[in-house]
Structure 1
Amino acid sequence: MDRLSNLPNHILSDILSFVPFKEAAKTSTLSKHWHHQWQSTRNLDFNHLYFANRDSNGDVQLQPQIFIDFVQQFIANNNSPIMDKLSLTFSQPGDFQETVEKCITFSVDRKVKHLKLDFSDPTWDENDLDGLAHPMFDLPQSFYNHQVLESVTLFSCKFDVFGFKNFGLLKSISLGWIELKVSTVKALLANCACLESLSVKSCWDMDSLSVCGKDLKLSSLVVEKCHFLDPSFEIEAPNLNYMKYCGTVVLFTVNGTSLEEADLDFGPEFECDESLGDSLYQSLNGICPTRALTVCTYMLQVIPMGEEPTGMEPRLNVTHLTLRTAMHNYEQGGIRFFLNSCPRLETLTIDIDRSRRICNEYRPPFEDKFEDLWRSSAIIFRCITQTLRKVEIKGFKGTPNEVYVMLYLVNHARVMEKLTVITSSEESNNRGPETFRSIAEQVYGFRKGSENLAIEIV
């Protein structure tokens, strides 16, 4: 018996609203009863890539007219009084401005709370923002009539920042693929009194970044792959507890915050020298204290090249450290640096991806080989013997360096309670998950420094 189809339509609408839009549309093939039921979903995702084809060479061929016809028909036939979310992704809106404006007006009429307008081109290179032509879609006046908008994403859009004064309930803003001046950011913060989350991605010609205000409610700040004319951050937001940065090396000045978690990824930086090691040291010093810290393979390679190669002074207050690493020999100095810098460390996550970039011009600050450190009993960090209780290793492939680190932790961590090893699901050098798991299981035979250690291999 088909019990699901016998549910009232409003219940089915609730269920379909929790399903991705593309998957909800597939239910139209189930039966006549379901043919139009999916159109009652309150979460709309109009994406031109859903209507694309691939040619014989595998290249994506967009079909803008077919996509626009679908959007027009859906809007014309939809009678729902309220929508929760609407996402419109369309990289060639110039010839179809009228339809796009109708879609935006539809979102206003249906009291959409979460709106995403993405007019960026998927062929754009986020690592070469200066070398692209960036046509912006000029948002119509109807956009500023939203009265219940709580979150908005605007990619490749031209907007009037002062129009945001109308968004009294707006809590989250995400901007991308636009020219973004520091004055625009300041105006957004001033006009959106309830703003809790700000994200900027692939923006260019940013003078710098200033997020300051004693009355700011901002709790989350994300900056990804932007081009800065002045690589400096000034942050003074009393409620900020999460910050993520991905880009070239910048200097952070963080004051008066309650920062709990920081995620730093300097992978897009191509330079590699001692001065950048000092800059990374200053940036790290600028965002602390923070309890949870994530660092990248670039930082593991470069930060020991500075004037302080062995650790931070004063030591960090980090209790949860995540190392995004390739487990390359060049990173062993950085791993040593952070273990030495975190004497209160309780949780260590080692996220392994061997495709992460290794600096070609790198000059190791230590002559020791990778295995020499991890096989030695001479260097035992304070956190290893006194505070470290939980370790998780992700993407384990059983390379010698991975085994050395795992052996070191199991041998010397005296209070560790849980070690979780998650083996990689990828094939590598004619070896697969079964081989990775077999190597990981060697840990059961290691001498354990903690009597209470439980080991799980996934």
Structure 2
Amino acid sequence: MDIISCLPGHVIDRILSYLPIREAVRTSVLSKIWKNKWYTLPNLVFDKHGVSDVASEDSLVDKNKIVKIVDHVLLIHSGPINMFKFTEDDVIGEILVTDMDRWILHLTGRSIKELVLEFLTGEEEEEYYKYKIPWCLFSCQSLHRLTLQWCWLNPPKVFEGFRNLRSLDLNLVTVAQDAFENIVRDTSIVLKNISSRKGN
């Protein structure tokens, strides 16, 4: 048996944690021991580094490929998901909104602890294109860290805060009137990089 196949499980997990998601998936061919290891990665990062080999000249084609990749990973993933990070270098379009809503619903059901959503920022008059965080996220009490860029936050009226949230990072996020107080009602939350606009 080769050295790669003899590595302890926790060492393999550590190696995989440093790889972009596409490279982690490719390790499946190394040996039977490695074949399904990426299925249990606790931190899922989807950005230009993690899925860069899907790039094409057509941004719509890129988005469709990225959607398929995220869908595939979430469908097969079998362990706990501690962190989900998604970075989009283009203005979020309708093709991605529905999928993003679906992914967040899935992640809230998996008791995610950290969520990072970063979208390309635009001008103030382009706020219509900000991603509107779906209500299902506001019922996710497992969240410890929340990082958002170029999003809308408009929680339901019954929302009373994230009980376990410890870190909040908002960059160019529009927050609905009177909603911010509910989001940060726990004084132990560490606020980072708060750059928000008050919505109507």
Under a length normalisation based on structure 1, what TM-score does the superposition of the two structures give? 0.36
Following superposition, the deviation at residue 40 of structure 1 comes to 2.0
Which of 82, 86, 89 aligns to 1:88? It is 86
Q: 1:141 aligns with which of 135, 138, 151?
A: 135
CA RMSD of aligned residues (A): 3.3
Aligned partner of 1:172: which letter?
S
CA distance in 1, matches of 2:64, 2:150: 21
The answer to whether the Cα contact below 8 Å between 1:155 and 1:176 also exists between their aligned partners in 2 is yes
Give the counterpart of 2:170 among 169, 172, 175: 175
State the secondary structure of the residue aligned to 1:149: coil
1:87: how far off?
A: 0.9
Mapping of residues 13-412 of structure 1, within 5 Å: 14-16=13-15, 18-22=17-21, 23-31=23-31, 33-47=33-47, 50-51=51-52, 52-53=54-55, 63-80=62-79, 82-90=80-88, 91=90, 92-118=92-118, 120-121=119-120, 124=122, 129-130=123-124, 132-134=125-127, 135-161=129-155, 165-179=160-174, 184-189=179-184, 191-201=185-195, 203-204=196-197
**Is the CA contact (8 Å cut-off) linking 1:88 and 1:116 kept in structure 2?**
yes
| 1:170, distance to aligned residue in structure 2 (A) | 0.4
For 2:162 and 2:29, locate their aligned partners in 1 and report how far apart those are by CA, in whole Å. 40
Helix, strand or coil: the match of 2:104?
A: helix
Q: Is the 8 A contact 1:165 1:192 kept in 2?
A: no
Aligned residues between the structures: 192
Question: Which has more helix, going by share of residues?
Answer: 2
Q: For the residues of structure 2 that align with 1:192 and 1:93, how far apart are their CA atoms?
A: 34
Give the counterpart letter for 1:83 in structure 2.
Answer: I
- d(CA) in 1 for partners of 2:145 and 2:31? 36
Is 1:6–2:1 an aligned residue pair? no
Structure 2 contact 152–175 (Cα < 8 Å) conserved = no
Instruction: Flag the structure with larger Rg.
Output: 1
- Give the number of the structure with larger relative contact order, counting CA–CA contacts within 8 Å between residues 6 or more apart: 2
1: CA distance between counterparts of 2:136 and 2:181?
A: 24
Listed one character per residue, the Cα deviations across residues 211-270 of structure 1 (whole Å, up to 9, x for unaligned) are: xxxxxxxxxxxxxxxxxxxxxxxxxxxxxxxxxxxxxxxxxxxxxxxxxxxxxxxxxxxx
Distance in structure 2 (CA, Å) of the matches to 1:18 and 1:193: 32
- Give the unaligned 5+ runs of structure 1: 207-458
Given that 1:45 and 1:86 are in contact with CA atoms closer than 8 Å, whether structure 2 keeps it comes out as yes
Q: CA deviation at 1:171?
A: 0.6
Query: Which one-letter code corresponds to 2:78 in the other structure?
Result: N
Tell me if the contact between 2:146 and 2:168 (Cα under 8 Å) persists in the aligned partners: yes
Residue identity opposite 1:53 in structure 2: A
Contact between 2:84 and 2:114, CA under 8 Å: does it hold in 1? yes
Other structure's SS at 1:169 match: coil
1:173 Cα deviation after fit: 0.6
**Aligned partner of 2:24: which letter?**
A
Amino acid at match of 2:85: S
Q: 1:18 deviation in Å?
A: 3.5
Distance verdict in 2 for CA 1:98–1:48, change over 3 Å: farther
Task: Tell me how far 1:164 sits from its aligned partner.
Answer: 5.7
Distance 2:158 2:151 in 1: 14
CA-CA distance at 1:48 after TM superposition: 5.7
**CA gap 1:139/1:179 in 2 versus in 1, 3 angstroms:** closer
Q: CA deviation at 1:53?
A: 2.5
**CA–CA distance in structure 2, aligned partners of residues 31 and 149 of structure 1:** 35
Cα offset, 1:114, TM superposition: 0.9
In structure 2, the CA distance between the partners of 1:12 and 1:64, relative to structure 1 (3 Å rule), is: same
Letter in 2 for 1:21: P
The sequence identity of aligned pairs, in percent, is 19
Distance (Å, rounded) in 1 between the aligned partners of 2:47 and 2:66: 8
